[in-house]
């Protein structure tokens, strides 16, 4: 009998026997900083790995506005993961932080020299352009104004 190639499970690539599970598959909101730190230090998870939706742990932590988890994770990441785009909207972690109004995450990510603030999503927007489209005429003290100011630094 031939395998059913229409079944998504059968089409998935098998995980290598020695491969570590992606951190993004092991952590859920709100995230436990001690558990994340321990898993990374013990090397029991792949910090750069993606979940079934194509999200990295950094995508999740940025959208959750979890600066503490971002600070724990970033030293373990490859540079390309810092700017990784998810497959759907082509959002980077910085796009996710902007879209969720996650000011602390936007501020942390925008200050990192390795973060490419010029990456465009599927609609052709940089994180700054996304923020400007979301927050029309923001005041400096509003969340939108603060996010835009963080991205312009």
pLDDT at residue 133, rounded to an integer = 92
pLDDT at residue 75, rounded to an integer = 97
Report the alpha-carbon distance of residue 132 to residue 143 in Å, rounded.
12
Least confident of 5-19, 70-84, 111-125: 5-19
Q: Considering the chain, what percentage of its residues have pLDDT values greater than 70?
A: 88
Distance of CA 103 to the CA centre of its chain: 14
In order, the DSSP letters of 40-108 are: HHTT-SBTT-B-TTS-BHHHHHHHTT-HHHHHHHGGGS-HHHHT---TTT---HHHHHHHTT-HHHHHH
Report the alpha-carbon distance of residue 12 to residue 16 in Å, rounded.
12
The answer to whether residue 13 scores a pLDDT higher than 70 is no
- 31-52 pLDDT, tens per residue? 999 999 999 999 999 999 999 9
> What is the rounded average pLDDT for all residues in the chain?
89
pLDDT at residue 1, rounded to an integer = 37
Q: Considering the chain, what percentage of its residues have pLDDT values greater than 90?
A: 79
Q: 50 pairs with which residues across the strands?
A: 56
- 90-123 pLDDT, tens per residue? 999 999 999 999 999 999 999 999 999 999 999 9
> The whole model's pTM is what?
0.85
Are 104 and 110 spatial neighbours (Cβ–Cβ below 8 Å)?
Answer: no
């Amino acid at each position: 009998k031939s395998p059913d190639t229409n079944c998504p499970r059968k089409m998935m690539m098998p995980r290598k026997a020695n491969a570590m599970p992606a951190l993004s598959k092991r952590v859920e909101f709100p995230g436990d900083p001690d558990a994340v730190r321990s898993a990374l230090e013990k090397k029991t998870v792949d910090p750069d790995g993606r979940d079934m939706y194509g999200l990295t742990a950094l995508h999740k932590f940025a959208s959750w506005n979890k600066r503490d988890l971002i600070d724990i994770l970033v030293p373990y990441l490859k540079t390309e993961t810092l700017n990784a785009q998810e497959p759907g909207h082509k959002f980077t972690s910085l796009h996710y932080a902007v879209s969720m109004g996650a000011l602390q995450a936007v501020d942390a990510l925008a200050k990192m020299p390795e973060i490419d603030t010029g990456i465009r999503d599927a609609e052709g927007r940089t994180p700054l352009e996304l923020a400007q489209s979301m927050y029309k005429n923001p005041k400096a003290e509003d969340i939108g104004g603060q996010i835009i100011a963080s991205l312009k630094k």
